[in-house]
Amino acid sequence: MAHKFSFYNTLSRTIEEFIPNEEGKVSMYTCGPTVYHFAHIGNIRTYIMQDALIKALEYCGYDVKRVMNITDVGHLSSDADTGEDKMLAGAKREHKTVMEIADFYTKAFFKDFDAVGNKRPEVIEPATNCIPEFIHMVEVLLEKGYAYVAGGNVYFDTSKLQDYYVFSSAIEKEQLAVGVRDDVEEDTAKKNKTDFVLWFTKSKFEDQALKWDSPWGVGYPGWHIECSCISMKHLGEYIDIHCGGVDNIFPHHTNEIAQSESYLGHRWCKYWFHSNHLNDRAGKMSKSKGAVLTVSVLQEKGYDPLVYRFFCLQSHYRKPLEFSFEVLDNTVTAYNNLVKKVEALIAADEKIKAAADQNKEDIAAVLEVIRNSQDIDENVKKEFEEKFADAISNDLNTSMAVTLLYDILKADTNAATKLAVVDSFDKVLSLDLIGHALADDSADIDPELEAFIKDAIERRAAAKKAKDFTTADAIRDELLAKGVEIKDTREGVKWSLV
Ligand code: AMP
Ligand code: ZN
């Protein structure tokens, strides 16, 4: 039985208990990147929070299958089908072909996507792979009377729907309608302002590089159709969760629902998960605005990509998050302190320490020893794992999950238990603290210090035996002055670096 899981569903505008179509299984779709430029750290925030969602669901006992598209055609600079073709603009900017641009930025995207600890979706499909599927969906929409041909393009007729603005309250609907009415660039072929392009043949871009034959003439697909088709191709007619950033709600996801449900004749996706934006002090981050701050750029500046993940996990996905190097620097300190604590835990458990010394390069081998340690207090571990599952299943409360990480490190239990819990939490957090602790040479305890600690502990034990508590306390203070804290536990004296 999976753990109860709730999160905010944009469709119902409430936090809802998640009930998948098939017990224990989750079909999930994620809108992928438009590969005309680098993905900035804001885009990557969205993918980190989605990764946390997937891993949280898995932690709670669900089996997740996730599909993601790569937008390599059809996305105009305004999401409402106006402006320049983003891919074409990228190709012109860099004097390359559209396919070269797509290839280069897809690779760059996955480099950063992987670096922050994200798991790749089970299926990744570029839009240009699925042209026949798009054409088929457009044909069916025309047959069913939900689409029309005008001025050479095929449009979706939003007036055929009872409720087009599915995500919006009455007030928001009014505001959106005004926004759409005021849209600067008017397409006179549209019957209704909210209608959107399913297939372009009358391209305003004479030099549009990617064109395909279709029943309506040579052309290319509109942006929204790709997500509906790619999702149905791999996940079938019913999906559980669809993810994106808040900017995707309107018009992209609104249009995806319009065309998918008209095509299918039934409800399509039950839960819509939207994460909020990352802003810098100047406002919203944007790919089209000048220099792009990417995870790779952070890396070049010396930041570990997992520190950026840690930064993201400490705030709630539904809140806007402001980025600054000042806060990132504080996150570096916090992350390094966690690594040091984990190192001290490794050093404090004889068997785990021996495994770490033997297998410096082989993290998996050390993790095996941690997981199979006979010293783990299973009750404490279970208690923490339950608290953790409660946090992440409560509208993906990742900051509470991070707090629990600090709690276990402070808890009154042995090193093996702490390490086992840190390892367990990492299934979702993916901060790789144990891996970093093993890899960190600077963290290697100086053998001289280690010998000193051992000696001091022995001297203190002797002093205590002789009831010389003044000397015993002085030895403890001496150790503390060297950054070593000792504790008397049932299993004997334990020490850690502070
Ligand atoms: P794009 O490549 O522009 O289609 O965007 C990829 C993903 O990043 C989409 O899900 C967007 O909703 C999301 N996104 C765009 N801008 C931001 C931002 N500033 N912060 C967080 N996510 C964003
Ligand atoms: Zn999409």
Q: What is the pLDDT of residues 326-347, one digit of tens each?
A: 999 999 999 999 999 999 999 9
Nearest residue CA, atom 8 of ligand 1?
Answer: 43
Cβ(31) – ligand 1 distance below 6 Å: yes
Cβ(294) – ligand 1 distance below 6 Å: no
Between 259 and 496, name the one with better pLDDT. 259
pLDDT of residue 185: 63
Please check whether residue 243 is in contact with residue 50, taking contact to mean a CB–CB distance below 8 angstroms: yes
Which of 43, 86, 322 is the pocket-test mutation for ligand 1 (most atoms within 8 Å of CB)?
43
Per-residue pLDDT, averaged over 377-390, amounts to 98
Nearest residue CA, atom 14 of ligand 1?
Answer: 43
**Helix residue ranges, H only, 349-414:** 350-358, 363-371, 378-392, 398-410
User: Which ligand has the shortest distance to the CA of 227?
Assistant: 2
Q: How confident is the model at residue 33 (pLDDT cuts 50, 70, 90)?
A: very high
Question: Residues with Cβ < 8 Å from 144, sequence gap 6 or more?
Answer: 262, 263
Residue 490 has pLDDT above 60, yes or no: no
- Count of residues making up the chain: 498
pLDDT tens digit string along 167-220? 987 777 777 777 666 655 667 889 998 999 999 887 656 667 788 999 999 888
pLDDT tens digit string along 45-56? 999 999 999 999
pLDDT of residue 206: 63
Exposure string over 55-83, b if 16+ CB within 10 A, otherwise e = bbbbbbebebbbbbbbbbbbbbeebbbeb
pLDDT of residue 205: 60
Between 429 and 290, name the one with better pLDDT. 429
pLDDT of residue 207: 65
Integer Cα distance of 408 and 405 in angstroms:
5
Relative to the CA of 30, which ligand 1 atom is closest? 10
Cβ(242) – ligand 1 distance below 6 Å: no
Between 481 and 430, name the one with better pLDDT. 430
The first and second tokens of residue 465, run together, are: 């035996």
> Left, alpha or beta for 429 (phi > 0: left; psi -120 to 50: alpha)?
alpha
pLDDT of residue 234: 98
Among 91, 52, 81, 299, which Cα is nearest to 180's?
Answer: 81
C-alpha of 376 from chain center: 31
Nearest residue CA, atom 9 of ligand 1?
Answer: 245
The one-letter code for the residue type at 353 is K
Residue 443 has pLDDT above 60, yes or no: no
Per-residue pLDDT, averaged over 435-439, amounts to 93
Exposure of 96 in the CB half-sphere (CA atoms within 13 A): 15
The first and second tokens of residue 265, run together, are: 């004749």
Does the pTM exceed 0.75? yes
Domains and CATH numbers, the chain: 6-286 (3.40.50.620), 324-433 (1.20.120.1910), 447-497 (no CATH)
Least confident window among 50-59, 77-86, 313-322: 77-86
C-alpha of 443 from chain center: 29
Exposure of 118 in the CB half-sphere (CA atoms within 13 A): 27
Relative to the CA of 43, which ligand 1 atom is closest? 8
Per-residue pLDDT, averaged over 57-64, amounts to 98
3-state class of 33 per DSSP?
coil
Cβ(276) – ligand 1 distance below 6 Å: no
Which of 105, 241, 247, 318 is the pocket-test mutation for ligand 1 (most atoms within 8 Å of CB)?
247
Q: How confident is the model at residue 444 (pLDDT cuts 50, 70, 90)?
A: low
The first and second tokens of residue 409, run together, are: 């490190």
Between 301 and 116, name the one with better pLDDT. 116
Maximum pairwise Cα distance, the chain: 98
Integer Cα distance of 181 and 200 in angstroms:
22
Integer Cα distance of 278 and 321 in angstroms:
5
Q: How confident is the model at residue 448 (pLDDT cuts 50, 70, 90)?
A: confident
Residue 136 has pLDDT above 90, yes or no: yes
> Pseudo-torsion of CA 466, 467, 473, 479, nearest 10°?
20
pLDDT of residue 487: 78
Exposure string over 125-164, b if 16+ CB within 10 A, otherwise e = bbbbebbebbbebbbbbbeeebbbbbeebbbbbbebbeeb
Nearest residue CA, atom 16 of ligand 1?
Answer: 43
Question: Residues with Cβ < 8 Å from 92, sequence gap 6 or more?
Answer: none
pLDDT tens digit string along 393-424? 999 999 999 999 999 999 999 999 999 999 99
Residue 356 has pLDDT above 70, yes or no: yes
* Mean predicted lDDT score pLDDT of the chain: 91
pLDDT of residue 170: 73
Cβ(30) – ligand 1 distance below 6 Å: no
Cα of first residue to Cα of last residue in the chain, in angstroms, is 41
- Which one-letter DSSP state was computed for residue 34? B
pLDDT tens digit string along 96-129? 988 999 999 999 999 999 999 999 999 999 999 9
pLDDT of residue 50: 98
Integer Cα distance of 212 and 207 in angstroms:
14
Residue 27 has pLDDT above 90, yes or no: yes
Per-residue pLDDT, averaged over 32-38, amounts to 93
Integer Cα distance of 199 and 343 in angstroms:
57
Q: How confident is the model at residue 80 (pLDDT cuts 50, 70, 90)?
A: low
pLDDT of residue 183: 56
pLDDT of residue 184: 53
